Amino acid sequence: MSTHTVTMTINGRRHTGTVEARVSLADFLRDQAGYTGVHLGCEHGVCGACTVLVEGNAVRSCLMLAVQADGAGVTTVEGLAAADGTLHRVQEALMNEHGLQCGFCTPGIVMTMAALSGEGKKATETELLDALSGHLCRCTGYQGIRRAAQQLAKPEAMDTANGEQS
Amino acid sequence: MKPAPFDYVAPTTIDEACAILAEAHGGATVLAGGQTLLPLLNLRMSQPFILVDINHIAGLKGIARVDGGTLIGPMTRQCEAIENTALQQHLPVLVEAVRHIGHHQTRNLGTIGGSVTLGEPAAELPATAVALKATIEVRSIRGSRNIPAADFYLGPYMTVLEEDELVTGIRFPDWSPGHITLFRELAQRPGDFALVGLAGALSIESGKVARAGLAWFGMGPTPMRARAAEQLLLGQSVHEIDPQAVAAAAINDTAPFDDQHASAEYRRTVGARLFASTLREAIRVREAA
């Protein structure tokens, strides 16, 4: 059983820790770095609740070892809103469209949508819905989430993403 | 649901990885994208002594056009394969197959080599490799060999790969420009393993089938090559093809099973219809073009 020192930049801050090789990125983020917004549902890649961004790409943090993320930049749901509490546009859209109830699956869903509709990115509704097939939500029946995706895919949403007013 | 303890090494060259595999005498497991391995570790269905992470080996990445085909590094991510213009142009069936693997989030880490090598019988890529007549290049400290995909799979998650061998490339031959492409799968939800699926390509020369590659997934213990259907198609004029007759021949080369999702009989019935309609549609698209 080997242990490893890992360093990663999480939400813009450097974290160094020592982990057993078997520790998942999700457990490292939660237990060592304190980012408990990373939710663990199934721990075998089915539910999508643990989705985070690694180098900007949405991945399941239960299906990646912490040691694999050594040197990487990681974003969790805690890293999305601005310092003054202004919500990320994905969070805003989900809130406006009632895209959550209990909130367990929400951080994962937010991260997937942020990966595709974040700063300077513009996914179509089809692309968003295809990516959202990787998430399970037991409360909402998905319709609110779907409406949030539609809102994010609207043309005017792109202008805001690019920092321009139409 | 946490993995049993293991050691972890991350070699940076193929030779180094092969030396570690040889030394481990079967106690090592290779970590590629990890999108199937990590669940197996978490569920403790797999308990290796040592995990050999090949993510840091530059020589296993990338897609290159080589003489008469395309060589795909096994560590090419599934998301990269979908975006790759050379693959879109030369191997549209492969790109379509990769789109059906798992979800956006798992395709960001999952690899072409991982899926091909694992040999899940209901997965898209093993059958696609068989249908497109790919060759799997493997290396060990004993040397290297090239294995036709049709000879690679022995059973569910069982392949001819020896415990000291590492897959170093998957070579897909070119199919003639404008070849007929076939890909279809039936799954209960997007991202689920297929209940029934098929992949194939037909090269057409002077209006006749010059080369045919067809394989099923989810229809037996391995990807199932539809040899009889390939033979039936060879030399036929495109407009003479009887999709139903070809499907009937293809279904004979399957060995489906009963499970909680579907009976073998269901798989055969749906498979034959899926095959016929996919072939009929592909011919229609070609004739319309």
Q: What is the DSSP string of chain B?
A: --PPP-EEE--SSHHHHHHHHHHHTT-EEEESS-TTHHHHHHTTS---SEEEE-TT-GGG--EEEETTEEEE-TT-BHHHHHH-HHHHHH-HHHHHHHHTSS-HHHHTT-BHHHHHHH--TT-HHHHHHHHTT-EEEEEETTEEEEEEGGGTEEETTEES--TT-EEEEEEEEPPPTT-EEEEEEE-SSTTSPPSEEEEEEEEEETTEEEEEEEEEESSSSS-EE-HHHHHHHTT-BGGG--HHHHHHHHHHT------SS--HHHHHHHHHHHHHHHHHHHHHHHHH-
Residues A98 and A48 in one domain: no
Q: What is the pLDDT of residue A157?
A: 55
Residues of B in contact with A4 (CB under 8 A): 8
Q: What is the pLDDT of residue A161?
A: 52
Within an 8 Å CB–CB cutoff, is residue B34 touching chain A?
Answer: yes
Read off the pLDDT of residues A111-162 as tens digits, 9 standing for 90 and up.
Answer: 999 999 988 888 999 999 999 999 999 999 999 999 999 999 997 755 555 5
Coil/strand/helix, residue A83: coil
Q: Which residue is listed with tokens 């085909």?
A: B69
Q: What is the pLDDT of residue B179?
A: 95
Closest chain A residue by Cα to residue B3: A22
Q: What is the pLDDT of residue B164?
A: 97
- Domain B7-53: which CATH class? alpha beta
Residues of B in contact with A44 (CB under 8 A): 1, 38-39, 42-43
Tell me how close the Cα of A110 comes to any Cα of chain B, in angstroms: 13
Q: For residues B213 and B230, is the Cβ–Cβ distance under 8 A?
A: yes
Tell me how close the Cα of B109 comes to any Cα of chain A, in angstroms: 7
Read off the pLDDT of residues A92-104 as tens digits, 9 standing for 90 and up.
Answer: 999 999 999 999 9
Q: What is the pLDDT of residue A144?
A: 97
Residues of A in contact with B5 (CB under 8 A): 1, 20-22
Within an 8 Å CB–CB cutoff, is residue B194 touching chain A?
Answer: no
Q: What is the pLDDT of residue A165?
A: 41
Residues of B in contact with A51 (CB under 8 A): 105
Residues of B in contact with A24 (CB under 8 A): 2, 38, 42
Residues A102 and A50 in one domain: no
Main-chain dihedrals φ then ψ at residue B162, nearest 5 degrees: -80, 160
Tell me if A66 is assigned to some domain. yes
Q: Which residue is listed with tokens 């805001």?
A: A160
**Which of B6, B31, B104 is the mutation pick for testing A, counting most A CBs within 10 A?**
B104
Q: What is the ipTM of this complex?
A: 0.93
Residues A94 and A74 in one domain: no
Tell me how close the Cα of B255 comes to any Cα of chain A, in angstroms: 28
CA distance B33 to B167: 14
The DSSP result for B13-54, as a single string, is SHHHHHHHHHHHTT-EEEESS-TTHHHHHHTTS---SEEEE-
CA separation, residue B184 to residues A11, B204, B246 (Å):
41, 20, 16
289 residues of chain B, pLDDT tens digit each: 899 999 999 999 999 999 999 999 999 999 999 999 999 999 999 999 999 999 999 999 999 999 999 999 999 999 999 999 999 999 999 999 999 999 999 999 999 999 999 999 999 999 999 999 999 999 999 999 999 999 999 999 999 999 999 999 999 999 999 999 999 999 998 888 899 999 999 999 999 999 999 999 999 999 999 999 999 999 999 999 999 999 999 999 999 999 999 999 999 999 999 999 999 999 999 888 7
Torsion of CA B62, B65, B67, B69, to 10 degrees: 90
Whole domain around residue A154: which residue ranges?
A: 89-161
Within an 8 Å CB–CB cutoff, is residue A57 touching chain B?
Answer: yes
- Domain over B180-288 is classified CATH 3.40.640.10: no
Query: Closest to A64 (Cβ–Cβ): which among B34, B43, B104?
Result: B34
A60/B53 Cβ within 8 A: no
CATH topology of domain B58-173: 3.30.465
Q: How many residues does chain B have?
A: 289
Residue type, B70: T
pLDDT surpassing 50 at residue A166: no
Task: Give how far the C-alpha of residue B239 lies from the chain's centroid of Cα atoms, to the nearest Å.
Answer: 29
Tell me how close the Cα of A165 comes to any Cα of chain B, in angstroms: 31
Tell me how close the Cα of A19 comes to any Cα of chain B, in angstroms: 11
CATH number at A59 reads 3.10.20.30
Q: What is the pLDDT of residue B189?
A: 87
CA distance A48 to A55: 18
Q: For residues A47 and A101, is the Cβ–Cβ distance under 8 A?
A: no
CATH number at A111 reads 1.10.150.120
Q: What is the pLDDT of residue B174?
A: 96
Residues A69 and A93 in one domain: no
Residues A14 and A70 in one domain: yes
Q: What is the pLDDT of residue A163?
A: 46
Within an 8 Å CB–CB cutoff, is residue B106 touching chain A?
Answer: yes
User: Residue B122: left (phi > 0), alpha (psi -120 to 50), or beta?
Assistant: alpha
Domain boundary assignment for chain B: 7-53, 58-173, 180-288
What's the domain count of chain A?
Answer: 2
Residues A18 and A72 in one domain: yes
Tokens of A146: 């779907």
Tell me if A95 is assigned to some domain. yes
Q: What is the pLDDT of residue B239?
A: 93
pTM above 0.90, yes or no: yes
Residues of A in contact with B7 (CB under 8 A): 1-2, 21
Q: For residues B132 and B175, is the Cβ–Cβ distance under 8 A?
A: yes
Burial bucket for residue B122 (CB in 10 Å: 0-12, 13-18, 19+): buried
Tell me if A166 is assigned to some domain. no
Residues A106 and A43 in one domain: no
A133/B35 Cβ within 8 A: no
Domain boundary (A61, A79, A97) is at A79
Tokens of B206: 């002077």
CA distance A93 to A85: 15
Residues of A in contact with B31 (CB under 8 A): 65, 68
Residues of A in contact with B35 (CB under 8 A): 45, 60, 63
- Beta strand B153-155 pairing with B158-159: antiparallel
